[in-house]
Chain A
């Protein structure tokens, strides 16, 4: 994140003094050129959707969102194929987090919220009348920006808390506990301290604990809202590894401000932008295409760091 912030400031300065030779040279040194992110994206191991047992895909049809009378998101139609990782990128306030929260009906948790459009999970609209919202959230899990383990519970209890909350009976909780922590890349670090409190872990460990907690209820889709923005590079790397592992068995949608992260972990990237009005999706394509040859000029400007 910090690396990215310096990039932006540098580039802002450059735009104002384009003729300044020194600045241009500086730009050559510091800017991540489009080709480099494209190569990061290109270097990813290609994943073939549908090659293994995968979760369900998710589709949205003309999704709008409001807070009170403020229209914050306009007409987003986007498909998330089963077993893929999709990154949502865009400057702050472009509605990408709001969009993410419409995908598991967390949007309605805010009292003034309203929405329009359809979100189809397994072909069924999750906003259809009579839909059991808790079932939707069981199938579409969520990891938040700030690590938020439950303070009153131990590490082990945190992982299994979803079973308790959703009243799911399972006999093999020990195996489940181990496999969830294993998949979240945390097992080796916490296996001897499962009875300690979650707050005793570092920020990065807490976030992986939250991922393990989401996995325990076996969601088909996992939504991640800037999961690494509060973490150091080492923890970020671990979580990106985890995401790659998880993508073998589930569909992942990740909001990120870190474009290198988007290039590293995602198969598809969707670019969101607000021009003062409601946010909208500008372009969605395979990640390597977004970072090498985006169709829209605004996408290119954003991924090359000319604004944002």
Chain B
């Protein structure tokens, strides 16, 4: 009879309760010491406490590691602590911003704001009057327009750099990089002086899309280029070896393989422009009434709505309105990004 005993599955690499206890006691000691230090020195407040806590706990872990193991392990723990500090310093502002916007913004949210515009109201009116429908529509139209213009141009530029690799690749790459540093007000002024004054002679949403495109194209081109470079050369060879022309290989193999990367390019491109206020103020005017026509008439946008409520108001109502607008903008961005991720992840990969 075969009597092999099967050992119970274990995870010897996991932290034991004893180790957890020692970590917990170190943290507890650190909190205690920081508390005493603060009481003694008068370094009061949350920031003072947290800074002291960080220094004390880093020191305690450093000493513990040195005693338990050696100098190298102690140095290692120091690096871990600083990495943790870096992470916290990145996360705190983000969490703080989202928290502030939600806390201050929800008072400005009401159903009416999604069906009304500000054509008959001033920012100082009671919060229940008026709304930001015009701004939401304007942002969607102008950002959508900019995306329609920028995505093909940006991806084609990236394809020139990665697939054609022509003689102009280097200067074009340099230009694209330089363009991504163009201040947004310059993009607005460029459209104002090259299209609005000489050609259309009036402000419109389309001009806003053009100005935003100037900011969006470099981001999309650079990100797409990085993504296309990640596609293995063997896939290009396989496509061509099957009798495909270069363009059919690009369309049938390369772009589908890079799809989720291209969605990332779109996300980064939209993130670059969705909060832009200055160029839109110059070329699309910033209207207060609902306007679905991008070719004529001033068009509002969420950043403009927020800017106007903060700057021209002054009452609590106006501030609530601005914070409400911020919350809507933030939610809008999250929804867009989630949607993009969902679309790119749905099939394959």
CB distance from A110 to the nearest CB of B (A): 10
CB pair B237–A165 under 8 Å, yes or no, is: no
Residue interface mask A110-138, B partner, CB < 8 A = 1: 01000000000000000000000011011
The interface residues of chain B lying within 8 Å CB-to-CB of A152 are 253, 256-257, 259, 348-349
How far apart are the CA atoms of A210 and B240 in the complex, in Å? 14
How far apart are the CA atoms of A146 and B234 in the complex, in Å? 8
The interface residues of chain B lying within 8 Å CB-to-CB of A142 are 237, 241
How far apart are the CA atoms of A164 and B245 in the complex, in Å? 11
Using A150-B257, A166-B243, A166-B244 as known contacts, say yes or no to A144 and B252 having CB atoms under 8 A apart: no
The interface residues of chain A lying within 8 Å CB-to-CB of B244 are 134, 162, 165-166
How far apart are the CA atoms of A7 and B245 in the complex, in Å? 44
Chain B, residue nearest A214 (CB): B242
The interface residues of chain A lying within 8 Å CB-to-CB of B234 are 144, 146, 148
How far apart are the CA atoms of A300 and B348 in the complex, in Å? 50
How far apart are the CA atoms of A142 and B236 in the complex, in Å? 13
Query: How many A residues touch B, CB cutoff 8 Å?
Result: 28
Residue interface mask B267-296, A partner, CB < 8 A = 1: 000000000000000000000000000000
How far apart are the CA atoms of A214 and B256 in the complex, in Å? 20
Contact residues, B228-254 vs A (CB, 8 A)? 232, 234-245, 248-249, 252-253
Using A109-B237, A146-B234, A197-B348 as known contacts, say yes or no to A162 and B257 having CB atoms under 8 A apart: no
How far apart are the CA atoms of A124 and B244 in the complex, in Å? 21
CB pair A106–B259 under 8 Å, yes or no, is: no
The interface residues of chain B lying within 8 Å CB-to-CB of A137 are 240-243
CB pair A165–B235 under 8 Å, yes or no, is: no
How far apart are the CA atoms of A214 and B242 in the complex, in Å? 6
Which residue of A106, A161, A214 contacts B252 across the interface (Cβ within 8 Å)?
A161
CB pair A165–B248 under 8 Å, yes or no, is: yes
Is A40 an interface position by the 8 A CB rule? no
The interface residues of chain B lying within 8 Å CB-to-CB of A150 are 235, 238-239, 253, 256-257
CB pair A138–B243 under 8 Å, yes or no, is: yes
Determine the interface band of chain B, counting residues with CB < 8 A from chain A. Answer: 20 to 34
CB pair B256–A153 under 8 Å, yes or no, is: yes
How far apart are the CA atoms of A144 and B237 in the complex, in Å? 9
How far apart are the CA atoms of A134 and B242 in the complex, in Å? 8
Is B67 an interface position by the 8 A CB rule? no
Is B165 an interface position by the 8 A CB rule? yes
The interface residues of chain B lying within 8 Å CB-to-CB of A106 are 237, 240-241
Which residue of B236, B240, B242 contacts A161 across the interface (Cβ within 8 Å)?
B242
Which of A106, A137, A146 neighbours the largest number of chain B CB atoms within 10 Å of its CB?
Answer: A137
CB pair B253–A141 under 8 Å, yes or no, is: no
Chain B, residue nearest A151 (CB): B257
The interface residues of chain B lying within 8 Å CB-to-CB of A210 are 238
The interface residues of chain B lying within 8 Å CB-to-CB of A148 are 232, 234-235, 237-238
CB pair B257–A167 under 8 Å, yes or no, is: no
The interface residues of chain A lying within 8 Å CB-to-CB of B235 are 148, 150-151
CB pair B249–A165 under 8 Å, yes or no, is: yes
Chain A, residue nearest B165 (CB): A111
CB pair A109–B253 under 8 Å, yes or no, is: no
Contact residues, A67-88 vs B (CB, 8 A)? none
Chain A, residue nearest B238 (CB): A148
Which residue of A144, A146, A162 contacts B243 across the interface (Cβ within 8 Å)?
A162
How far apart are the CA atoms of A147 and B232 in the complex, in Å? 12
CB pair B242–A213 under 8 Å, yes or no, is: yes
How far apart are the CA atoms of A76 and B180 in the complex, in Å? 51
Which residue of B232, B237, B242, B245 contacts A162 across the interface (Cβ within 8 Å)?
B242
Is A104 an interface position by the 8 A CB rule? yes
How far apart are the CA atoms of A166 and B238 in the complex, in Å? 12
The interface residues of chain A lying within 8 Å CB-to-CB of B236 are 109
How far apart are the CA atoms of A305 and B256 in the complex, in Å? 46
Is A217 an interface position by the 8 A CB rule? yes
Which residue of B241, B249, B252 contacts A104 across the interface (Cβ within 8 Å)?
B241
CB pair B238–A134 under 8 Å, yes or no, is: no
How far apart are the CA atoms of A94 and B240 in the complex, in Å? 25
Residue interface mask B167-197, A partner, CB < 8 A = 1: 0000000000000000000000000000000
CB distance from B233 to the nearest CB of A (A): 9
CB distance from B273 to the nearest CB of A (A): 29
Report the 5 A-B pairs with minimum CB-CB distance, sorted nearest first: A165-B244, A152-B256, A138-B243, A166-B243, A162-B242
Which residues of A line the B interface, CB within 8 A?
104, 106, 109, 111, 134-135, 137-138, 141-142, 144, 146, 148, 150-153, 161-162, 164-167, 197, 210, 213-214, 217
Can you list 12 residue pairs at the A/B interface with Cβ under 8 Å? Answer: A104-B241, A106-B240, A134-B243, A135-B243, A144-B237, A144-B241, A152-B259, A153-B256, A161-B242, A210-B238, A213-B238, A217-B242
Give me 18 other A-B pairs in contact (C-beta within 8 A), A134-B243, A137-B243, A144-B241 excluded.
A111-B165, A135-B243, A141-B242, A144-B238, A148-B234, A150-B253, A150-B257, A152-B253, A152-B256, A152-B348, A161-B239, A161-B242, A161-B252, A166-B242, A166-B244, A167-B248, A210-B238, A217-B243
